A and B are shown apart, each in its own frame.
Chain A
Amino acid sequence: EAGVAQSPRYKIIEKRQSVAFWCNPISGHATLYWYQQILGQGPKLLIQFQNNGVVDDSQLPKDRFSAERLKGVDSTLKIQPAKLEDSAVYLCASSLVPAGTEAFFGQGTRLTVV
């Protein structure tokens, strides 16, 4: 079974530039999560999708972050414009719909904003 795929693995941009991350979840997984993990901290949920609908985006900085999940499969997370404090690892995860199932994570994208 293929795992959660993320790209790119690393990205360095200047502040005020824009950046996009891509995630392909495990086939059949209706729930998709995007997390932000700042160095030394636990992952913080940015947005949760079920199929192509948003379940929770309460911690997404909507003035600069946006996310979409086309056709309930792949997802992209965009930051525009980036700030220095956006430097972090962005993790994508997926799981089946029932709340009792296991979540699987991708390798993450390490973003450095200079």
Chain B
Amino acid sequence: KQEVTQIPAALSVPEGENLVLNCSFTDSAIYNLQWFRQDPGKGLTSLLLIQSSQREQTSGRLNASLDKSSGRSTLYIAASQPGDSATYLCAVRGATNKLIFGTGTLLAVQP
């Protein structure tokens, strides 16, 4: 059974810092991994999708990496801004298209 864990559960940083969020999964037989952002009271916004054959994906100040063999992914946020404050979720997709989520990291960027 696939289990997804995110560390840390919560993070507070001053504006301008670079930061790394971690995601680990127990079954390496995945098709892809997706990072989402969730603002309070809102749905999920897709940030980055990494296919199992890829090592990383970049979008603006965001960079996500994937090491399938070790069951790990990281989301790197450069030059953080108060507007980045949100909950960040990772999710892995397996053979049946089932999407399993981690517990999330609550990020607060202090101005």
Name the prevailing secondary structure of the A interface residues: strand
The complex places the Cα of A97 from the Cα of B46 at a distance, in Å, of 18
B52 CB to nearest A CB, Å: 8
Count B-side interface residues using an 8 Å CB cutoff: 29
Given A33-B99, A95-B97, A102:B42 Cβ within 8 A? no
Given A43-B89, A91-B43, A108-B42, A100:B51 Cβ within 8 A? yes
Is A31 a contact of B46 with CB atoms below 8 Å? no
Is A50 a contact of B100 with CB atoms below 8 Å? no
- Name which residue of chain B comes closest to A31, CB basis: B97
Cβ of B63 within 8 Å of any chain A Cβ, yes or no, is no
The complex places the Cα of A106 from the Cα of B44 at a distance, in Å, of 7
B105 CB to nearest A CB, Å: 10
Choose among A33, A56, A103 the residue that contacts B46 (Cβ–Cβ < 8 A). A103
- Name which residue of chain A comes closest to B52, CB basis: A100
Report B-chain residues with C-beta under 8 Å of the C-beta of A31. Answer: 97
The complex places the Cα of A99 from the Cα of B95 at a distance, in Å, of 7
The complex places the Cα of A36 from the Cα of B67 at a distance, in Å, of 28
Is A107 a contact of B43 with CB atoms below 8 Å? yes
Cβ of B94 within 8 Å of any chain A Cβ, yes or no, is yes
Report B-chain residues with C-beta under 8 Å of the C-beta of A97. Answer: 97
Cβ of B96 within 8 Å of any chain A Cβ, yes or no, is yes
Choose among A42, A99, A102, A106 the residue that contacts B43 (Cβ–Cβ < 8 A). A106
Within 8 A of A (CB), among B67-111: 89, 91, 93-104
Given A99-B94, A100-B31, A102-B49, A107:B42 Cβ within 8 A? yes
Question: Hey, which bits of chain B sit against chain A, CB under 8 A?
Answer: 4, 6, 31-32, 34, 36, 41-46, 49, 51-52, 89, 91, 93-104
